[in-house]
Amino acid sequence: MPVQARSEPGATTATAYWTVAPGAGELREVPLAPPAAGEVLVRTLHSGYSRGSELLVHRGGVPAAVAATMRAPFQEGDLPGPVKYGYLSVGVVEGLGAGAPPDLLGRTVFCLFPHQDRYVVPAAAVHPLPDGVPPRRAVLAGTVETALNALWDAAPRMGDRVAVVGAGMVGACVAALARRFPLQRLQLVDVDPARAAVAAALGVDFALPDDALGGCDVVVHASASGAGLGRGLELLGDEGELVEVSWYGDRPVTVDLGAAFHARRLVVRASQVGAVAASRRARRTTAERLATALDLLRDPAFDALLSRPVALADLPRAVEDLAAGRREALCLVVDHPAAR
């Protein structure tokens, strides 16, 4: 049954958020064993709730055919649920198993773990935060890693004209990284005019779909909508490429390929963070990719993506409000008891 979030130093249980049925989540007490050889115990400070993939899980919208492929690294249970799902966690290492690196003790680390106030994982699964990266901002590491992978796939070149369609969590991170390139033009495109403030905070030009400039060499699509995908194709110049990073779940998508798609020789290519982009796969591990993402988070502009925090005890209600449109957040930041 649901519980209030709590975490005592000697506790043998932890508190975790579970999706128990489509549209319903609760906090549960889960067993917490001491760290075994090569493991570490982490006390969580903050976690991040993604309104993209995690809301899709909340709604029960993950197709059965890809449920196994879309498992989070430390997921418990199976989709559609009950399931403990999530992958944006920052905490402090407060215990070591035999053989775990002693220099991890007391370090603030990122881990691809669900929303849980204390947890035990292999030492290799935690990544110390670089100097200059605040713990709250570090919850974006998994999303910045996705954006980095997308740009490795997209491979924009000097002087390119680039559009990012969809100013959600992933699209905004793609735009924040792309602005570092010596591009001729970069626009962040979204149907919501309020996202102009996010674009301004990131130092990127904003455009509504009808106002976006065409002739693009590269479009990164992240709106998770057929309309956004169609508009992204329209923004491409001849023989341009659209890199698709949206996850649609079980929703069918319709896009018009019967007009000028073939005559203009356009390309649509998928990008997914489960594997390192092909252009870097022989020379980068996933751990190196995540380390790069953490280093990129020294940029304070990423703070524009973070919501006002909610307490772990309030997460079930906050997720319901997010799903119903009563709460706005790109990344919903969850403060755990240790953060107080």
The answer to whether residues 131 and 235 belong to one domain is no
Residues whose CB is less than 8 angstroms from the CB of residue 172 and which lie 6 or more positions away in sequence, other chains included: 188, 195, 198, 199, 202, 304, 305, 330
For residue 192, is it within any domain? yes
The answer to whether residues 125 and 158 belong to one domain is no
The answer to whether residues 90 and 198 belong to one domain is no
The answer to whether residues 99 and 160 belong to one domain is no
For residue 4, is it within any domain? no
Question: pLDDT digit of tens for each residue in the chain (340 aa)?
Answer: 333 333 344 558 999 999 999 999 999 999 999 999 999 999 999 999 988 889 989 989 888 888 887 888 999 999 888 999 999 999 999 999 999 999 999 999 999 999 999 999 999 999 999 999 999 999 999 999 999 999 999 999 999 999 999 999 999 999 999 999 999 999 999 999 999 999 999 999 999 999 999 999 999 999 999 999 999 999 999 999 999 999 887 788 889 898 789 999 999 999 999 899 999 999 999 999 999 999 999 999 999 999 999 999 999 999 999 999 999 889 999 999 976 6
For residue 262, is it within any domain? yes
Q: How many domains would you assign to the chain? A: 2
By DSSP bridging, strand 310-311 and strand 216-221 are unpaired
Give the domain extent around 243. 143-270
The answer to whether residues 202 and 232 belong to one domain is yes
For residue 283, is it within any domain? no
Measuring CA to CA, how many Å separate 27 from each of 82, 158, 312, 313, 317? 12, 49, 8, 8, 11
The answer to whether residues 47 and 101 belong to one domain is yes
The answer to whether residues 147 and 132 belong to one domain is no
The answer to whether residues 35 and 124 belong to one domain is yes
Question: pTM for the full model?
Answer: 0.91
For residue 320, is it within any domain? yes
What interhelical angle do 286-296 and 141-154 show, nearest 10? 110
Which structure tokens are listed for 340? 């107080």
The answer to whether residues 91 and 171 belong to one domain is no
Kindly list the strands in the beta sheet with 236-244, ordered across the sheet, starting from the edge strand earlier in the chain.
205-207, 185-189, 161-165, 216-221, 236-244, 267-270
Whether the CB-CB separation of 173 and 188 falls below 8 Å is answered with: no
Chain position carrying tokens 């070149």: 157
